[in-house]
Structure 1
């Protein structure tokens, strides 16, 4: 294998010292414009790339931001990551995407990365245990929770009002005359799933409707098949619901597919409302009525908060606005 070009080769070709090459590569000190051009031409000619690990140790910065993602296949998280990148890249940071799912606590790897200077900060989309000592530790670190957050005084977060958004979705169905409304929920170790379930229950209670546990189905995942399977359980009831609120668009679309296979028309026989407003929701047939989250804005705001923390500021948590988007499924 051909040896990689060294900083010594660049310095020799440019006719400058190694220290000057380092200053140009790191933008650490002013360099004469003509000298900078010679160094840049030498870098291009040799194909030299600076040692990022070495710069990290020297500056105590990696210029990497870790993003803990619970499910890489879920388009919801992909939209948030795009928002993070839109802010991080112009600020000189690259993203390190890490799987936040699995049996182990997702924050273990992230904490190690911060303490070992492998990442400058963390944006967390994964579930976190409601652990007082952990929250106290995270509060003093460059850490931001996004969408998923904990109510206690921990690190700052950006999210929407999940409970109120669910109330709005169910109230829309109630206003359309539905009284037997089913819920397809998700893993309620996630706070957003808990809050959306709470919003469903509150809306039904305010309408004077007694809770019916048979109308609530917990999906075994967040993909389309999980939604279809949960919808099958609702269809098996002696008195199936006339409308369904699903806590994600992927579950809602899976449910619509199951209803269609069973010969049920949407929305004529059963109305469906989702949550997230993924790009697919507008082009799927029937187009999905859903709660719109500002996904890219969530990611961008999380990045802004994290960069502010890295700058020594103490930014406050933020709650962004949601919107009910009425389409054809309800």
Structure 2
């Protein structure tokens, strides 16, 4: 049975000490260009791969960045993780996503946060118990991605302007002549959900249209099934909406399926706008009009900000641009 090459084998092949190989692999201390080339050639020839956990014993770092994710099934988060992994890999780090199922306050979740494994944390889940989070984050680099506390500015965050993006989406529907516009929201524990509702209501008020609670459906989740059920509820109204703004593409697609099941045509009878621009939005029929988030850029930016913190830099907040992607559903 073949075994993986050891650091001892690399040192022997390169004609240097194990300590010198470690310096080349970690960049902890300078070595001559000639020595570096010999070690790199030996690593390539032997197919050696460093163990990041073993490396952590000498560097004080594990090479692991923890990423707290609310829902692995949501393609929005998958795209953010993808962007984070791409940049982290280039910098020699591994991203470890942890599915916290929408809550970071239970004991098991806090144990993960307080463990000594991660060098830093990227958080995508809602913040509820600030004291518990502050304790978990103590002494560890931390970046909020998409979710953050608006009144807590000491922890860097990267996001988009969710309120303005929702306003833009509803204004697009208003410009198309719609006046009975419904909102299908997800889980208002999340900042994005609250801000997108605020943007929806702001756009209606600017158009002198009353905000009717009967046209607002809060599902508590982002599933396709929840969107379909919300569509059925909206169609049961005495005056059903002519347009629906859903706070995620998964909900929007579910809405379209529910409308079709009831014999409604999209967009002829009811227009639908989503949010995120996940990959399925373009290939779904009808192709989804949606708010495009730079999802992979959000993940990439979060990693860059986190590594900057780890290197002692002062890291500020970032708001990335969104865009309205007009397709066939509205």
**TM-score in same-fold range (> 0.5):** yes
Q: Which residue does the alignment assign to 1:167?
A: 167
Distance 1:3 1:321 in 2: 49
Structure 1 residue runs without a partner (length 5+): none
Task: Decide whether the 8 Å contact of 1:66 with 1:121 is kept in 2.
Answer: yes
Q: Which residue does the alignment assign to 1:317?
A: 317
Distance change (3 Å), C-alpha of 1:325 and 1:139: farther
Q: Which residue does the alignment assign to 2:123?
A: 124
Q: TM-score, normalised by structure 1?
A: 0.88
Q: TM-score, normalised by structure 2?
A: 0.88
Task: Decide whether the 8 Å contact of 1:246 with 1:275 is kept in 2.
Answer: yes
Distance 2:63 2:243 in 1: 48
Task: Decide whether the 8 Å contact of 1:148 with 1:191 is kept in 2.
Answer: yes
How far 1:85 sits from its partner (Å)? 2.2
Between 1:255-264 and 1:36-45, the stretch displaced more is 36-45
RMSD between superposed Cα atoms in Å: 2.6
Which structure 2 residues correspond to residues 220-231 of structure 1 after superposition, within 5 A?
220-231=220-231
Task: Decide whether the 8 Å contact of 1:252 with 1:272 is kept in 2.
Answer: yes
Distance 1:21 1:281 in 2: 48
Distance change (3 Å), C-alpha of 1:196 and 1:14: closer
Structure 2 residue runs without a partner (length 5+): none
Task: Decide whether the 8 Å contact of 1:139 with 1:155 is kept in 2.
Answer: no
Distance 2:258 2:93 in 1: 43
Tell me the alpha carbon deviations over residues 267-291 of structure 1, each in whole angstroms, 9 at most, x when there is no partner: 1111111111112212222121111
Which structure 2 residues correspond to residues 251-290 of structure 1 after superposition, within 5 A?
251-290=251-290
Corresponding residue pairs, total = 327
How far 1:6 sits from its partner (Å)? 4.9
Q: Which residue does the alignment assign to 2:206?
A: 206
How far 1:242 sits from its partner (Å)? 1.0
Distance 2:300 2:7 in 1: 36
Distance change (3 Å), C-alpha of 1:178 and 1:314: same
Tell me the alpha carbon deviations over residues 219-251 of structure 1, each in whole angstroms, 9 at most, x when there is no partner: 242121111111111112222111111000110
Q: Which residue does the alignment assign to 1:111?
A: 113
Task: Decide whether the 8 Å contact of 2:103 with 2:125 is kept in 1.
Answer: no
Tell me the alpha carbon deviations over residues 124-181 of structure 1, each in whole angstroms, 9 at most, x when there is no partner: 1112215257348748631111111111224110111111111111122122222211
Distance change (3 Å), C-alpha of 1:14 and 1:277: closer
